[in-house]
């Protein structure tokens, strides 16, 4: 399982967010350039359709592919009360001919994206990853060199943390308190709950840029 929250930030404030994250996490950022292929199976003979994502970080010296399946979100009163989404997630390394395998299994390419940005991996009450990226679409099939932004001027911020049925409340609480540090710059909430940019972002960014981000956890 994993806990996840998402938000958006204007590209002009991303540098300030990076300074803040650098100070909070105390680690260096990893650059990302992730080619993502979203595949959907065609439902037939009583099989429900399923969706998998093939991901490849082109920034790595030797890019390798990963397959990720995101399952359903946890439901019920307990899940409603916590401010992060808890969902099942399965991930595995795959060989680079995985796309052909999924085509043979009856999956079809739904869309492909290129996410360009950076991530911080750190521990703040729980191991977490913050990813900041611009989402781009390809004008031609697999043409990652000719990608154009889906939402120009806006980047996606995602915080994820591995969790289990035993510890998700603890992980969610740790994630919630981490998100409070970012609140002046952006609002993070469950995926699908769009909250837009925060009005304090410009002032918070200006102050971070002038003091170089002194905050540490």
Ligand X SMILES: *[C@@H]1O[C@H](CO)[C@@H](O)[C@H](O)[C@H]1NC(C)=O
Q: Give whichever of 16 and 130 is closer to ligand X, judged by the CB atom.
A: 130
Q: Does 172 bind ligand X (CB under 6 A)?
A: no
Smallest distance from ligand X to CB 171, Å = 5
Smallest distance from ligand X to CB 166, Å = 7
Please give the span between the terminal C-alpha atoms of the chain, in angstroms, as a whole number.
26
Structure tokens belonging to residue 142? 């697999």
Task: By CB under 6 A, name the one of 49, 88, 164, 200 that touches ligand X.
Answer: 164
Helix (H, G, I), strand (E, B) or coil at 56: strand
Task: By CB under 6 A, name the one of 19, 135, 159, 171 that touches ligand X.
Answer: 171
Site residues (CB under 6 A) for ligand X, limited to 116-155: 126-127
CA distance 142 to 147: 9
In the block, tokens 């350039």 appear at 33
Q: Does 23 bind ligand X (CB under 6 A)?
A: no
Q: Does 170 bind ligand X (CB under 6 A)?
A: yes
**The dihedral sign for the CA sequence 12, 14, 15, 19:** positive
Q: Cα–Cα–Cα angle for 103, 43, 98, nearest 5°?
A: 20
Q: Which of 110, 88, 209, 104 is nearest to 160 (CA)?
A: 88
Name the one range near ligand X by CB under 6 A: 17-25, 36-44, 87-95, 162-170.
162-170
Q: Does 167 bind ligand X (CB under 6 A)?
A: yes
Smallest distance from ligand X to CB 121, Å = 12
59 phi and psi angles, rounded to 5 deg: -80, -20
Residues lying near ligand X in the complex (CB under 6 A): 126-127, 162-164, 167, 170-171
């Amino acid at each position: 399982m994993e806990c996840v929250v998402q938000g958006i930030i204007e590209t002009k404030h991303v540098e300030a967010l990076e300074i803040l994250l650098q100070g909070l996490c105390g680690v260096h950022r990893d650059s990302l350039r992730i080619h993502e292929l979203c595949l959907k199976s065609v439902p037939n003979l009583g099989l429900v359709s399923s969706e998998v994502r093939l991901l490849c970080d082109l920034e790595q010296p030797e890019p390798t592919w990963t397959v990720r399946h995101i399952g359903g979100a946890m439901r019920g009163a307990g899940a409603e009360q916590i401010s992060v989404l808890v969902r099942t997630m399965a991930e595995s390394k795959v060989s680079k001919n995985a796309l052909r395998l999924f085509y043979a299994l009856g999956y079809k390419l739904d869309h492909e994206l290129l996410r360009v940005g950076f991530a911080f991996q750190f521990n703040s009450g729980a191991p977490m990853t913050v990813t900041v990226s611009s989402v781009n679409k390809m004008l031609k099939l697999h043409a990652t060199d000719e990608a154009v932004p889906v939402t120009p001027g806006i980047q996606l911020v995602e915080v994820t943390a591995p969790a289990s049925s035993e510890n998700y409340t603890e992980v969610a609480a740790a994630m919630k308190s981490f998100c409070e540090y970012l609140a002046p710059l952006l609002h993070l909430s469950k995926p699908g709950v769009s909250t837009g940019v925060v009005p304090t972002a410009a002032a918070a960014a200006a102050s971070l840029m002038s003091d170089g981000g002194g905050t540490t956890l």
